[in-house]
Chains A and B, each alone.
Chain A
Amino acid sequence: MAKILLVEDHEEIWDFLSRRLTRRGYEVVVAPDGQQGLDKARSDAPDLLLLDMNLPVMDGWTVAQTLKGDDATKSIPIIALTAHAMAGDREKALAAGCDDYHAKPVDFSKLVDQIEAALASRGGAS
């Protein structure tokens, strides 16, 4: 059972996302800001991060960079969630170390595909 750490500050979004992901059989841990996201990534050993980029306390790019710069956490795949979908967002997220990118609003089945792909590649790599 894959454990997903969902770092998202909007309550509606983490609420429905975590419920839908749980229904699909994932174990979901929620962190409402960047700092807590970073802490839980270290303490809860998730299999994957869904990381919003515009976060309070610490933004998503910093979280991604910190985790990818740390040997203990750098192998955790990160899927960036952004609401901008502006030119350059994708590049910025990937440059910060994210493995994949999903523009909001969430296309749930596509997101699940991306999660599965990320988990599979990690499984293959390790």
Chain B
Amino acid sequence: MQSPVRGTPSARPAVMQPAAAPREINAILNAIEIGVYGMDAAGRCTFVNKAALEMLGYTHDDVLGRNMHELIHHTYPDGTPYPRSACPLLQSLETGKPVQLDNEMLWRKDGSFFNAEYSAFPVLDEDVVTGSVVTFQDTANKGQARKRLGVQISVSRILAGSSERDTALTQVLGTIGSALGWHVALFWEVDDGERVLRTTAAWAGPDAVGEPFLSATRDTTFARGEGLPGRVWQTEAPEYITNLAGDSTFLRRVAAEAAGVRTGFAFPVKAGARTVGVMEFFSRRWQHYDENFVDSVATLGQQIGQYLRRKRAEEDLRAAKEEAEEANRAKSQFIANMSHELRTPLTAVIGYGEMLEEEAEERGLDTMLDDLRKINASARHLLTLINDVLDISKIEAGKMEVHLETFDVAHLISELSGTVEDLVARKGNRLIVECPADIGTMHSDPVKLRQSLINLMSNAAKFTENGSVRLEVERGGEGESAAIVFRVADTGIGMTPEQVAKVFQRFTQADASTTRRFGGTGLGLWITRSFTTMLGGDIAVDSVPGEGSVFALRLPADSGAHRADADAREEQEPETLEAGGANPVLVIDDDPNARALLSRFLTREGFSVRTASDGVTGLELARELKPRAILLDVMMPHMDGWAVLSALKADPEVADIPVVMETIVNEKGLAFSLGAEDYLTKPIQWPRLKKVLERFRSTPPARALVVDDDDSTEGLLGELLEKEGWSVIRAHDRDAVFARLAENRPSLLLVDLNMSKANGFALVRELRRLPEWRDVPVVALSSHELSADERMRIEGHVQQIINTEDDAPEALLSVLRRIPLRHSRRGGTPEKTHG
């Protein structure tokens, strides 16, 4: 690359007289990254710029008036003295001709050196050389800023890519190392179990000289505070060792010397406030401390740390999910095996029982016949229970298959009447069947329809004495909406509205005393409803206590046409209970009655509610609505609650939304391991639900500290915040911020980055460095798109950067709504810590 100062002497501007140089020129000299000094005709320093002093490690007073050759150019690389007479720059004072040296060694105050482009431009006054302007530039540093930015982008790309964790880390080491002139790099990871640092990724430059050093270091571990990585782990600050061989705190001196590495540098890799590892770089060249470099790798450290934390979370989640799926598979297999094992002996019981019954009948053994009939009835009952459990496990596992065929409805009904006749008659009930003989055929699953109708009719018979059970069948609708309605009406004890609401829940009967009086598991109606849904139909109940109940089962005449769009219709289910307002509670439950009950309860408690009837819709709604909380049912067909929970927690967009699981059995360990906020066991105890939900209400006015020196923006912001229920305090500059902080701890800081009186970037970074305020979430506001460099300086320090010009107020609102919630939940709930 061409040096920007290279040129002909005549093109030089007259910047020679420092006293006369206008302030602007001084400012320019101090702003550029190239070292510049002036010397008089005798080679003594007349002025020097900031970059030169920084590169050389001298102060202004150290160099002014000194012979610069003696000071910084005194020795050849091989250690022999560099006489004045041999220095081309000094010669140029005599020739008056500019001179440029491409690769010269310049010595720092601390004895180290660096390679530089070194040029002199003599200044002529009427053909007399009065002095010279000298420029120098660290060749290793040339274009460093651009390189650093390039590294930043490459690292971000690697971390966002799909590489395996350790591969990505090695790539990161290589990218930083090769771009910024380091030869060996190591990543030390905190081993949580042993509390030591251990290398999990390493890189050596292509010249392989680093390899012996790497292998010497690979099996070493460092305790906290021990050696370079251990110290960085402890102090959580970058550390630079310019001369490894001369540093007694560097424990791998011998190996380093053998490998020829001279300079070492390490910085902490942090996930939030926690140091998760240390990155170490070594160079075979003397590298001097470079603040910009250290700053930029500190940003990288945050970025890598967050990546590691994300990877760790993903791994944990995957493991937990696999565990949960495995447990679920084992459960399904167990139930399948168990039902098989139970059925074999039951087959024998029923078989022998029936055989004995036949024999007893033939021989006229009436007393024995009665008892045998009871045994057989009980065995049959046991069989239906086992079948129900098997059905439920199949439905839940999504393994219940539908076999559609075309059949004659009247024929199925007449067969069915024969089957249930005895059952209905048992309690002195009359069976009335009304089915038009010409009702025709339907295309559905006859086995499931038969089972559903038997369930409904045996249920009707169970709760009715000396009355009637009526089955009416009729065809309704036309074309695609053609349906067959099966209505089962009884004259039994009926149900109250509360009982009706619960009637389709699993394991729940109208009330506990029902179980004692009438027996049964309460599974039949749930199965019936599940079958009905599978066939694209619906079921409704109408009941009057003391008068009886009517169950109306409506199935499409052609289930084949209806099942395909069953899901679509579910989604369009009118959300009658949805109340207005933002941040609703999302209820995901396949059971419409549970949805209705929960919605009613939540609405009464002042929450707005949205519902989803399956996991996929639930996930979509969660992403769309960003609800305040999610109530999630575990037992759902196709995608169960655990799968939904895992998906929610794997999506950064919705991972923060608290999820409350509704489980039948107590599985809180699983719930918490998958990231649930809390759990409830079904049937839901309303007082407990209420208590859980209280936590998700917006907390009483949280305090927001707005740091801005522009009253108009601040006014708008304040309004927005206050409308959201925040109490707003204000500060115009750094001192005011600390004064306000001292008075009362805010829940949120909003910092304008474009202030004229204060430096928003510096303020944010200062706050992050103070342990006391590190936890307060900061939202940065900017009226323009941040440059990559600005972004680099602030990323990892703030919760969110909001562009006040471009981002809609909604962006700010959605951040605001989440922050107090997240913050107040810090530390978890008592239940959770016990879980």
How far, in whole Å, are A86 and B387 apart by their CA atoms in the complex?
A: 11
Could you tell me if B343 and A104 are in contact, using CB atoms closer than 8 angstroms? Answer: yes
Could you tell me if A87 and B401 are in contact, using CB atoms closer than 8 angstroms? Answer: yes
* B568 touches A (CB below 8 Å): no
Selected interface stretch from B9-17, B349-357, B586-594: B349-357
Q: What does the 1/0 interface line of B341-363 toward A look like (CB < 8 Å)?
A: 00111111011101100100000
* A42 touches B (CB below 8 Å): no
Could you tell me if A12 and B348 are in contact, using CB atoms closer than 8 angstroms? Answer: yes
- Pick the contact of B358: A12, A23, A84, A88 (CB < 8 A): A23
Could you tell me if A84 and B340 are in contact, using CB atoms closer than 8 angstroms? Answer: yes
Selected interface stretch from A14-22, A66-74, A93-101: A14-22
* A122 touches B (CB below 8 Å): no
State whether A83 and B401 are in contact (beta carbons under 8 Å apart), knowing that A16-B352, A108-B354 are contacts in the complex: no
Contacts of A16 in B (CB 8 A): 348, 351-352, 355
Contacts of B344 in A (CB 8 A): 10, 13, 83, 104
* A106 touches B (CB below 8 Å): yes
How far, in whole Å, are A111 and B383 apart by their CA atoms in the complex?
A: 17
Could you tell me if A83 and B347 are in contact, using CB atoms closer than 8 angstroms? Answer: yes
Could you tell me if B347 and A104 are in contact, using CB atoms closer than 8 angstroms? Answer: yes
Q: What does the 1/0 interface line of B316-350 toward A look like (CB < 8 Å)?
A: 00000000000000000000100010011111101
How far, in whole Å, are A86 and B336 apart by their CA atoms in the complex?
A: 8
* B399 touches A (CB below 8 Å): yes
Contacts of A86 in B (CB 8 A): 336, 394, 399
* B169 touches A (CB below 8 Å): no
How far, in whole Å, are A84 and B387 apart by their CA atoms in the complex?
A: 11
How far, in whole Å, are A53 and B355 apart by their CA atoms in the complex?
A: 24
* B400 touches A (CB below 8 Å): yes
* B390 touches A (CB below 8 Å): yes
Shortest CB-to-CB span from A106 to chain B, Å, is 6
A2-46 CB contacts (< 8 Å) to partner B: 10, 12-13, 16-17, 19-20, 23
How far, in whole Å, are A108 and B355 apart by their CA atoms in the complex?
A: 10
Contacts of A120 in B (CB 8 A): none
Which A-chain residue is minimally distant from B343 (CB atoms)?
A83
How far, in whole Å, are A23 and B359 apart by their CA atoms in the complex?
A: 10
Could you tell me if A105 and B399 are in contact, using CB atoms closer than 8 angstroms? Answer: no
Could you tell me if A12 and B394 are in contact, using CB atoms closer than 8 angstroms? Answer: no
Contacts of B352 in A (CB 8 A): 12, 16
B629-667 CB contacts (< 8 Å) to partner A: none
Could you tell me if A85 and B383 are in contact, using CB atoms closer than 8 angstroms? Answer: no
Contacts of A106 in B (CB 8 A): 347, 350-351
Shortest CB-to-CB span from B751 to chain A, Å, is 61
Could you tell me if B351 and A13 are in contact, using CB atoms closer than 8 angstroms? Answer: yes
Shortest CB-to-CB span from B368 to chain A, Å, is 17
State whether A105 and B336 are in contact (beta carbons under 8 Å apart), knowing that A13-B348, A87-B399, A88-B401 are contacts in the complex: no
Which A-chain residue is minimally distant from B394 (CB atoms)?
A87
Most buried by B among A12, A16, A86: A16
Q: What does the 1/0 interface line of B133-154 toward A look like (CB < 8 Å)?
A: 0000000000000000000000
Shortest CB-to-CB span from B485 to chain A, Å, is 28
Contacts of B383 in A (CB 8 A): 105
Interface size, chain B (Cβ < 8 Å): 21
How far, in whole Å, are A112 and B789 apart by their CA atoms in the complex?
A: 85
Which A-chain residue is minimally distant from B341 (CB atoms)?
A83
Which B-chain residue is minimally distant from A54 (CB atoms)?
B340
Shortest CB-to-CB span from B521 to chain A, Å, is 19
Which A-chain residue is minimally distant from B350 (CB atoms)?
A105
- Pick the contact of A20: B336, B345, B355, B399 (CB < 8 A): B355
How far, in whole Å, are A10 and B345 apart by their CA atoms in the complex?
A: 9
Contacts of B348 in A (CB 8 A): 10, 12-13, 16
Contacts of A19 in B (CB 8 A): 355
Contacts of A17 in B (CB 8 A): 351
Contacts of B355 in A (CB 8 A): 16, 19-20, 23
Which A-chain residue is minimally distant from B340 (CB atoms)?
A83
Shortest CB-to-CB span from A64 to chain B, Å, is 20
How far, in whole Å, are A87 and B352 apart by their CA atoms in the complex?
A: 28
State whether A20 and B401 are in contact (beta carbons under 8 Å apart), knowing that A87-B394, A105-B343, A105-B383 are contacts in the complex: no
Contacts of A84 in B (CB 8 A): 336, 340
State whether A87 and B351 are in contact (beta carbons under 8 Å apart), knowing that A13-B344, A104-B343, A104-B344 are contacts in the complex: no
Could you tell me if A12 and B340 are in contact, using CB atoms closer than 8 angstroms? Answer: no
B391-424 CB contacts (< 8 Å) to partner A: 394, 399-401
How far, in whole Å, are A20 and B347 apart by their CA atoms in the complex?
A: 13
Shortest CB-to-CB span from A95 to chain B, Å, is 15
Shortest CB-to-CB span from B41 to chain A, Å, is 101
Which B-chain residue is minimally distant from A87 (CB atoms)?
B401
Most buried by A among B344, B348, B383, B394: B348
Contacts of B387 in A (CB 8 A): 85
How far, in whole Å, are A20 and B352 apart by their CA atoms in the complex?
A: 9
Shortest CB-to-CB span from B179 to chain A, Å, is 59
Could you tell me if B401 and A85 are in contact, using CB atoms closer than 8 angstroms? Answer: no
Which B-chain residue is minimally distant from A90 (CB atoms)?
B403
Shortest CB-to-CB span from A94 to chain B, Å, is 12
Which B-chain residue is minimally distant from A19 (CB atoms)?
B355
Could you tell me if A108 and B351 are in contact, using CB atoms closer than 8 angstroms? Answer: yes
Contacts of B400 in A (CB 8 A): 87
How far, in whole Å, are A86 and B394 apart by their CA atoms in the complex?
A: 8
B753-797 CB contacts (< 8 Å) to partner A: none
Which B-chain residue is minimally distant from A11 (CB atoms)?
B348
Q: What does the 1/0 interface line of B113-125 toward A look like (CB < 8 Å)?
A: 0000000000000
Shortest CB-to-CB span from B530 to chain A, Å, is 14
State whether A20 and B351 are in contact (beta carbons under 8 Å apart), knowing that A83-B343, A83-B344, A104-B343 are contacts in the complex: yes
Shortest CB-to-CB span from B743 to chain A, Å, is 68
How far, in whole Å, are A84 and B383 apart by their CA atoms in the complex?
A: 13
Contacts of A104 in B (CB 8 A): 343-344, 347
In the complex, given contacts A13-B348, A88-B401, A105-B383, what are 9 additional A-B residue pairs having Cβ atoms less than 8 angstroms apart?
A12-B345, A12-B351, A16-B355, A20-B351, A20-B354, A84-B336, A87-B394, A105-B347, A106-B351
Some 21 contacts from A to B, beta carbons below 8 A apart, are: A10-B344, A10-B348, A12-B348, A13-B348, A13-B351, A16-B348, A16-B352, A16-B355, A20-B351, A20-B355, A20-B358, A86-B336, A87-B399, A87-B401, A104-B343, A105-B346, A105-B347, A105-B351, A105-B383, A106-B347, A106-B350
